[in-house]
Structure 1
Amino acid sequence: MFSVNGCFHRFCFSCMKQHIEVKLLGGQTASCPSDGCKSEVKMECCAKFLDPKLVDVMVQRKREESISVSDKVYCPYPTCSELMVKHEVLEYTKQFFLGAEQSGARKCMKCGLFFCTQCKVQWHYKISFDDYRRSKGYQNAGDGMLKSLAQSKRWRQCIKCNNMVELVWGCYHITCRCGYEFCYTCGAEWKLKKATCSCPIWDERNIIRQSNVNPRK
């Protein structure tokens, strides 16, 4: 039996596993399934019976919820995409870059690469923000390659913030990191947690099954 921290309501492991997976696949974090109880399900307590991928999703969701939208900044490098807090990454960058606050330069706290927090691209040395924004290099920076890759990988682009979204597993209800919700199949907006299109909500191939789970020892 699994006991929820804080309220000590008890449930079997299989029921808790299913409850948490359904919540995460729906773009939510998990709380106690007992009617009316709002106790948080701690990630460290349920990691032993969840797929490691789900644990990573829970960690990311908790971190995103703890940071206001106006304070979020993401590393623009596709191989990183680390979520950071604006004032934290600024203070971190000041150790390596003189005039970071005025220039807009930031050093990713994970991969260590520099980027422009205003352009949201890799750092453009010796070129001002305004000059770079007017340049052909900015207008075409990786557009062709990105579009080709997005098409081959069947990625979706959020119409609100233009970030690319890749569905690895789960349902087709997408909640972008900017907060915008849409259908991964057609791109139609979700309103009040409800679809505005008639596309299927999920595909059996994208749902994690018990047989695919490798429990942590």
Structure 2
Amino acid sequence: MDDSGGQHVLHKNGSASDEDDAEDEEFSITCVACTEDAVWFDILAAPCNHQYCRDCVTELFQASMIDESLYPPRCCRQVIPLEDAKLVLHPKLVRDFEHKSIELDTKDRTYCFDPRCSTFIPIDHITDNIASCADCGRRTCAICKVAAHLGDCPRDEALQEFLQTADDQGWQRCYSCRRVVDLRTGCNHITCPCGAHFCYVCGASWVPRTCDCPQWDEERLQERAEQIANRDPHHRLYRPPQGALDPGLAPPARPDYDHLVNAIRGRLEQNHECDHERWVCRREPCRCEECNHHLQYYIFECRQCHIRACQRCRRNRLWIGCSIPTFVQTSIHGFLYLHTLSLVSDSPRMCCLYPHHELFTFLLGLGQELETQWKEGGCDSGWVLGG
């Protein structure tokens, strides 16, 4: 007779009974991220009703504190509330996430100017534009981000050199958090990790839109259409002439390729605000166009805008339609960026930088090491420095 009051009865070896195991297995749920089965009490339902196991929720929240393109943690563009996630997250991770959220939710951040410290300084530690570091006690100017000073902010030569390079290259700066963005593919509607929407051409706010700049750069649009056509010559938008269906005839001439490119161009223009709701799985090795991770066996492709993304990116990283940056996570001094330009320039969609002094000495050495690895073939193409 069971005197346990309805609780699971454990054997002497500490394992649950076979009957209890079978009961748990009956109520197991498949995780949408790792596709493994987990018992129901180790599952979190996202607002979109996708089910995540404890390990995958933990991994997502940990990653979002490092990779800002994953913050806030979300699935299908709906934010996963921390209050819900607390049910499956370790209490220490919850505390760490709450602490980190203060930094990630701050648009114009200030870090201790001393590269040996570089601690984030919250707004409540800033008075009259002077930020006091709670860790080392040093004071930082909240405007120019260097050591606190009297009078006007001094000229930061390295930062000015960086901004001049950005201007020469046609890059744009977020009006809200001041990151610098380099767009590679996509329309001119940029969504910054800080949440601001702006125009890549003039930098003005996009929501609400305050400029008359074109939605697309013609050269970039043509290049993207050709890229899609080249990777899939038998694209479903391809409509060969009737005679080309005869296997005895020669393959279609160049004008048919041009027709395909034009059809893809039209589709891209039509779906520039794509909601990424319809995906197809391509059974081929491919590189994710968002995180640049190489998948050996398959990739997902959006049927409307044709972006190719891994499972993590299509579920947890992509927002609606607008171009989203693959960016350098750690705040970087302009000189460091110029030094590692060859690394960053191969990022697939867009690079985004936050030009401050955080960890300058450490990152400079890291940049030199990565550059050496790059030249020796030790890094995958498209590598970007991460925080």
Superposition TM-score, scaled by structure 2 size: 0.29
Q: Which has the larger radius of gyration?
A: 2
Superposition TM-score, scaled by structure 1 size: 0.44
